[in-house]
Amino acid sequence: MGRPPCCDKISVKKGPWTPEEDIILVSYIQEHGPGNWRSVPTNTGLLRCSKSCRLRWTNYLRPGIKRGNFTDHEEKMIIHLQALLGNSFIYTSRWAAIASYVPQRTDNDIKNYWNIHLKKKLKKLQINEEEVSNKGQWERRLQTDIHMAKQALCEALSLDKTTSKQPYNSYHEVSGSNSSIYASSAENISKLLQNWMKIPPSSNSETNSSATTPEGFDSLFTFNSNCHSSDACQSVSVDTANLTPETSLFQDETKPILETQVPLTLLEKWLFEDGVAHEGQEDLINMSLEDSAAGFF
DNA sequence: AAATTGCTCAACCGCCAAGTT
DNA sequence: AAACTTGGCGGTTGAGCAATT
């Protein structure tokens, strides 16, 4: 037999979370750390199913999440990454992969933003495109797009590297002042978390001690020290699990990086190597060209 | 001022791979 | 090995708000 069910689905509450529920959930996670979601409703008395608790935490309450308008830079990143990853058969979790390149944004946020804003924008662009369209021009523009994607990614990733040098607590202040409007309740709740962030829950600190600081960002441009087989390690290893502060703090909570790690490394290798494309990378470019052309709309 | 339409985004749903018993 | 759950994902919904008529 398997494990017992996560919750009694009959007495489960649905709909928007109240601030009180948020506080209960955050307090519980402060004490026990994220994970073992099955026990959360039981132990907190929340009338929510474990899945709902997890989603509320990962998409809204988790510290380090930026809310509010997307910047032009973020927008471009998403568009280009969507063009590159969106329809590739390699990527079974494209939003998570894209989110790993857009710091402080959740995959749900990016997905929403894409569906609401960017699809429309691109449709408009497509209409303009049709006026000038012939195959050669279309492909040339996509080539330009790919080139711009490379630049945008390089810029963004080097920005990340800079911000990562800050202590984790000040990171919040910076992100809060820089941009964007945090949902007031989330902001209040994130304040509750500040002390906790200095001392992560013991259950996590034991297993994730190396990943509890933003120093994880530094691995962005380093070779994988655990890797001893030469070929697989030649490429620049981007530790996607550490790309954002929230994922570094709550490694349990990250999107499933393992399954995307190999293809991402391939992509990153291509992105970071200025110059001649290798055979496999050409395939990737060609695939992106075809797929993005066919799949945008 | 009231009704209608459009927009936004948090939350839900269903599916699937991985893990557990 | 089989049965079952968990956790994670993409797609979708619907309540609430804003803009327009």
The integer distance in angstroms from the CA atom of A117 to the C1' atom of B6 is: 13
CB A171, CB A214: distance < 8 Å: yes
**What are the angstrom distances between the C-alpha of A195 and each of A34, A40, A189?**
16, 22, 12
Strand C proximal to A48 Cβ, under 7 A: no
Residue partners of A203: CB distance under 8 A and separation at least 6: A32, A33, A35
| Per-residue pLDDT tens listing for chain A (297 residues) | 444 444 555 567 888 888 888 889 888 888 888 878 888 888 888 888 888 888 888 888 887 787 777 888 888 888 878 777 654 444 445 777 888 788 788 888 888 888 877 777 776 666 666 655 555 665 566 666 666 666 666 665 555 444 433 333 333 333 333 333 333 444 545 555 554 444 444 433 333 333 333 333 333 333 333 333 333 333 333 333 333 333 333 334 443 333 333 444 444 554 444 333 334 334 443 444 344 444 444
Q: Could you check: is the Cβ of residue A18 within 7 Å of any atom of nucleic acid strand C?
A: no
Is A56 within 7 A of strand B by CB distance?
yes
- CA dist., res. A200 & res. A240, Å (int): 21
Contact between the CB of A285 and strand B at under 7 Å: no
Q: Residues A70, A110: contact at Cβ < 8 Å?
A: no
Distance A208 CA to C18 C1' (A): 45
For strand B, give the nucleotides within 7 A of a protein CB. Answer: 7-14, 18-21
Q: What is the pLDDT of residue A230?
A: 35
Check residue A201 and give its pLDDT. 41
Report the distance separating Cα A247 and Cα A54, nearest Å.
Answer: 14
State whether the beta carbon of A47 lies below 7 angstroms from any atom of strand B: no
Protein residue closest to B21, using CA and C1': A2
Q: What is the pLDDT of residue A49?
A: 86
What is residue A74's predicted lDDT score, i.e. its pLDDT? 82
DSSP labels, A166-218: S-HHHHHHHHHHHS-PPPHHHHHHHHHHHHHHHS--HHHHHHHGGGSSGGGGG
Q: Which domains does chain A have, with CATH numbers?
A: 9-61 (1.10.10.60), 72-295 (no CATH)
Whether the CB of A250 is less than 7 Å away from nucleic strand C comes out as no
Q: Is the CB of A2 under 7 A from strand B?
A: yes
